[in-house]
């Protein structure tokens, strides 16, 4: 598969509305890639866990209950089925506890789309260019009580897909924007559960709320991938001494962005232009049937409210807080992304160091996510 096709695929996912996938209505979807191997190995869950540095992605309110300092780095050869080595995803996060203030975290997210070759409409080869996207941000969590915390964060977003290239007479520019996170986390007091005790939790995180992003002077802005994530988790010991522990988690997510379609006369034909709905207005309008427009036919399909929810569920087993195995399941409606896969993972902790990995086994054929591996390393300092 040549690099020009890869770029076109990336542009399609990011810039164009997509009838069968709700994610297609947003720009910069790299912000939705799960940022650590632990959560990815548990079926893309973590909003009610958020007990390590990756809380910046899953639920920044979880920082409020963390008193240690930690750095973590996650790497994945993204869309491995494309067979291109320089298509990769990296996530670096550091959290620091400050006495009297709380725990503050910072992150850098980077998606490299590799080197591309510009080809003219006549098939002539032009200049080569690099495509990439990144975000940098800060997050903070604070306890309102021993059972309830609030958190938030903000990030700067930069997307350079085809900078300097002209498409249909329009020069493609880098896109930039700002996204904000608002989160909450509830943790129960320990309670009896079988031969040991347990702690239940429930988290909510609204992430990437902000203005849209655009890539050319004449183009309308595409909405950010504003995502609502919520769900419960429970952790309990399998024996009195909690040498063996089990965690069960469920995350439910939903895209909280919308686009409007407008008919525009172009010469003798009518084309459609798409415009991002104001993000605050989209928070309200997203709680209804979604009717995406097929720009080729001008027809609409109905995606019911229940079909717009994406579900992940996962298990994690720890032995003596040193070795973990994980598994999970993720599902989207066929009318809303149509991703379905099972996940596997494992983790190891030794003194201040930790290693995690996860693997995706897709249930649909020819999925670009098939055989995706993530690796994470952690350092407590």
Q: Is residue 20 classed exposed, middle or buried when 0-12, 13-18 and 19+ CB atoms within 10 A define those classes?
A: middle
116 has a pLDDT exceeding 90: no
12 has a pLDDT exceeding 60: no
197-225 pLDDT, tens per residue? 999 999 999 999 999 898 876 667 889 99
Range of the domain at 76: 3-380
Report helix, strand or coil for 38.
helix
| CA-CA-CA-CA torsion sign (15, 13, 106, 185) | positive
Report the pLDDT averaged over residues 157-164: 85
H/E segment holding residue 13: helix 3-15
CA pair distance 379, 214, nearest whole angstrom: 37
Question: For the chain, how many structural domains are there in total?
Answer: 1
Question: Which pLDDT belongs to residue 259?
Answer: 83
CA pair distance 357, 42, nearest whole angstrom: 11
CA pair distance 48, 232, nearest whole angstrom: 5
Q: What is the pTM of this model?
A: 0.88
Instruction: Give yes or no for a contact between 53 and 70, defined as CB atoms under 8 angstroms apart.
Output: yes
CATH number at residue 88: 2.40.160.40
Token pair belonging to 248 = 């069960």
337-350 pLDDT, tens per residue? 889 999 999 999 99
CA–CA–CA angle 274, 275, 278 (5° rounding): 150
CA pair distance 177, 208, nearest whole angstrom: 10
């Amino acid at each position: 598969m040549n690099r020009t096709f890869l770029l076109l695929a990336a542009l399609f996912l990011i810039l164009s509305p997509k009838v069968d996938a709700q994610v297609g209505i947003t720009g910069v979807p790299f912000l939705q890639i799960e940022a650590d191997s632990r959560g990815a190995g548990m079926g893309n869950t973590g909003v009610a866990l958020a007990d390590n540095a990756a809380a910046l992605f899953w639920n920044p309110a979880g920082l409020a209950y963390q008193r240690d300092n930690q750095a973590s780095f996650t790497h994945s050869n993204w869309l491995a089925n494309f067979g291109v080595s320089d298509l990769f995803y990296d996530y670096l996060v550091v959290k620091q506890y400050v006495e009297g203030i709380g725990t503050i975290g910072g992150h850098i997210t980077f998606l490299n789309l590799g080197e591309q070759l510009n080809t003219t409409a006549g098939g002539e080869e032009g200049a080569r260019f690099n495509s990439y996207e990144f975000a940098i941000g800060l997050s903070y969590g604070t306890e309102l009580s021993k059972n309830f915390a609030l958190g938030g964060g903000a990030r700067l977003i930069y997307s350079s897909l085809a900078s300097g290239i002209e498409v249909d007479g329009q020069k493609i520019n880098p896109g930039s924007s700002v996204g904000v996170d608002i989160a909450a986390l509830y943790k129960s007091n320990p309670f009896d559960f079988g031969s040991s005790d347990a702690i239940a939790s429930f988290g909510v995180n609204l992430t990437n709320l902000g203005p849209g992003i655009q890539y050319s002077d004449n183009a309308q802005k595409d909405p950010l991938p504003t995502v609502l994530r919520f769900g419960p988790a429970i952790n309990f010991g399998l024996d009195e001494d909690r040498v063996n522990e089990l965690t069960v988690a469920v995350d439910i997510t939903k895209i909280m962005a919308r686009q409007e379609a407008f008919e525009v006369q172009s010469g003798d034909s009518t084309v459609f232009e798409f415009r991002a709905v104001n993000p605050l207005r989209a928070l309200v309008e997203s709680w209804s049937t979604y009717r995406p427009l097929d720009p080729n036919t001008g027809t609409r399909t109905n995606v019911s409210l229940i079909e717009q929810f994406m579900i992940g569920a996962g298990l994690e087993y720890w032995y003596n807080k040193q070795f973990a195995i994980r598994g999970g399941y993720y599902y989207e409606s066929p009318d809303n992304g149509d991703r379905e896969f099972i996940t596997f993972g494992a983790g190891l902790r030794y003194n201040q160091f930790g290693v995690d990995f996860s693997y995706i086994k897709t249930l649909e054929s020819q999925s670009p996510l098939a055989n995706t591996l993530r690796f994470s390393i952690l350092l407590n300092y």
